[in-house]
Amino acid sequence: MTSDAEFSDLIEPYNTRLPFTPAVVVLPTTNRHVQDAVICAAQVGLKVQAKSGGHSYSSNGLGGKDGSMSINLQSFQTIQLDQSSGVATVGGGVRLGNLADGLWNQGKASVSHGTCPGVGIGGHYTHGGYSHTSRNYGLAMDQVVAADIVLANGTMIKASSTAYPDIFWAIRGAADSFGIVTTFYLQTRPAPSSVTNFQFPLNGVFDSKAKFTNTFLHLQDVAKNASVVDNKVSFGVYLDGYGTFSLSGAYFGSVADFNSKVKGELLRGLPSSTSTVESLNWYDFNVKVSGGSTIKTPVTGYDLHENFFAKSVTVPESDGLTANTMNALYDYLKTAGGVEYYMIINLYGGPGSQINSKDTNFAAYNDRDSLWVLQNYGYGAGSINFVNGINNAIIKAQPQTNFGAYLNYIDPTYDAATAHKLYYGDAVYSRLAALKKQVDPQSVFWHPQAIGA
C-alpha cells in the first residue's frame, strides 16, 4: 500500500519526467496472485497494468496515470532452457541481460532482444523488440511461440498459434491491452560462434549540408543493395548535438568476410573514420553493445532513471528518406540551441530482412515494411518542443510518405486516436478493437493509449 516503506522505491519511474502514483502495487509470487489481483481490480473499478522491467517511456507500468493497480512481476524470474526443443520458459519479470546470460550458460543458446540489459521482457517482447540481431533472427516478439496470460476475467490461458490464436496474435503487439503475460515460451537457436562488431565514427559529417545529406544517402543506397546487404548485416547511425555521426552494427559472419563483402562499399566515399572491426563470441557481443561491463542486472533494487522525451519515425521501404528531407533535417538540427538530443537511425528493412519477412497476420504488429526506424531523444528544458520539431521537419519535407511510429519508443503526448493510427494502422487496430470488446469489455487493462481508449 502507499503507506509501506517500499512503495516509493517501487513506483520510481525509469523516465522521471512522468511520475505516477498507483492506488496499489501488487507483488505477486504466483500466477494465482496475479489472477486474484486482476479480479479484485475489476470488482472495484481500478485500471490495471503490469510492470516487467519498468522501462516504458510513458511509465505505463505504473498505469500511465495516477490511481491504477500496478502488478509488479519482479518475482517471475524463471529462465529454463529445454535442450531438446530449444524452447526457453521465461518469467514475465526477467530482464534482457539476465535472459541472455541464462540462455548462454544453460546451453549456449540465443534469442533476439535489445541491447539494454535492464529492460524487462514484458513490454519488449510484446511490442516489437529490435536489436542488431533482428534482421537476422526477426524481432524479439517473432520468437514467442506461446505465453501464459491472465485475462481480464481472471482466467489463466496458455495461448499459441493453435490455442487461443486470436489472443496470441493480439498479445504480440498489444499485450498491455489484453492481459498479463506471466510466462513466455521463446524459440531459441544456437548462439553464433562469433559475431563481427563494427564501429565507424565518421569525421566532419556536420561540416556542411551536402556532406550530411550525401553521407546518409550513400548509406541508404547500400542498405537497399542486395549485392552488399543480406540478413547477415545490421547497421545504424547515431548522431547528436555534439557533432557525432557514428556508423555501427553487426555482421553474422567472419571479420574477413565482412571486410571483403561489406566494409569497402559501406565506407566508400564517406568521411574518414577510425575503424573498429572485431570478432566477439555471442556473450561478449552482448556485453559490448550494452555499453557496460556486465549484462547481469539485479532482480530487485534496479535503479536506473533518466529525465527525457522521445519520439520515433518509421520510414517505409518504398520511399526511404529523400535528399530534400535530409537537407531539411540538417537545417533543423542546426537550431538545437543548447538542447541536448540524439538520434538513432536503425536499418529494419533491406534485402533479406527477417523483420519484414512476416506480415500483420502473423502478429498484431504493423511495422513490417520499414526501411529505417528513427528514435529521437531529448533531455531537459525545451526537449519536447525540439524533439517534436525533428519529427515535423522530416514529415513536412516528405508529405507523399505515410510515416508511422514504433511501439516501444512510445510518445505519451499523442492522443489515443493518433497513437492508434501511428502504432497500429487502421486495419490492425480495427481487429484489435473488436477483440478487446470480446475479452476485456470493461477495459480492465488500460492506459491512455490502450486499445479501446
Give residue-wise pLDDT tens across range 135-183: 999 999 999 999 999 999 999 999 999 999 999 999 999 999 999 999 9
Q: Are residue 421 and residue 394 in the same domain, yes or no? A: no
Q: Is the dihedral of CA 141, 146, 148, 151 positive or negative?
A: positive
297 within a domain of the structure (yes/no): no
pLDDT at 1: 60
Q: Are residue 181 and residue 216 in the same domain, yes or no? A: no
> C-alpha angle 395/398/399, rounded to 5°?
80
Nearest to 286 by CA among 80, 40, 102: 102
Q: What is the domain range of residue 41?
A: 1-192+414-453
pLDDT at 411: 97
**What's phi and psi for 281, nearest 5 deg?**
-70, 170
210 within a domain of the structure (yes/no): yes
Could you tell me where the beta strands, DSSP code E, fall in 323-381? 340-347, 370-379
Q: Are residue 177 and residue 253 in the same domain, yes or no? A: no
Q: Are residue 186 and residue 225 in the same domain, yes or no? A: no
pLDDT at 403: 98
Q: At what angle do helices 96-107 and 282-290 cross, to 10 degrees?
A: 170
Please tell me the number of Cα atoms within 13 Å of 79 on its side-chain side: 22
Q: Are residue 439 and residue 337 in the same domain, yes or no? A: no
Please tell me the number of Cα atoms within 13 Å of 329 on its side-chain side: 29
Q: Are residue 173 and residue 210 in the same domain, yes or no? A: no
Q: Are residue 249 and residue 315 in the same domain, yes or no? A: yes
CA–CA separation, 279 vs 257, rounded Å? 11
Q: Are residue 319 and residue 399 in the same domain, yes or no? A: yes
What is the domain count for the chain?
2
Q: Is the pTM of this model over 0.95?
A: yes
Q: Are residue 207 and residue 344 in the same domain, yes or no? A: yes
- Grid cell, residue 91, equals 518469467
Q: Are residue 187 and residue 198 in the same domain, yes or no? A: no
- Grid cell, residue 266, equals 559501406
Q: Which residues of the chain have pLDDT under 70?
A: 1-3
363 within a domain of the structure (yes/no): yes
Q: Are residue 339 and residue 366 in the same domain, yes or no? A: yes
Please enumerate in sequence order all residues whose Cβ is within 8 A of that of 53, keeping only pairs 6 or more positions apart, or say none. Answer: 61, 93, 95, 96, 118, 119, 120, 121, 122, 123, 124, 302
CA–CA separation, 315 vs 405, rounded Å? 9
CATH code, domain carrying 382: 3.40.462.20
Nearest to 378 by CA among 426, 430, 332: 332
298 within a domain of the structure (yes/no): no
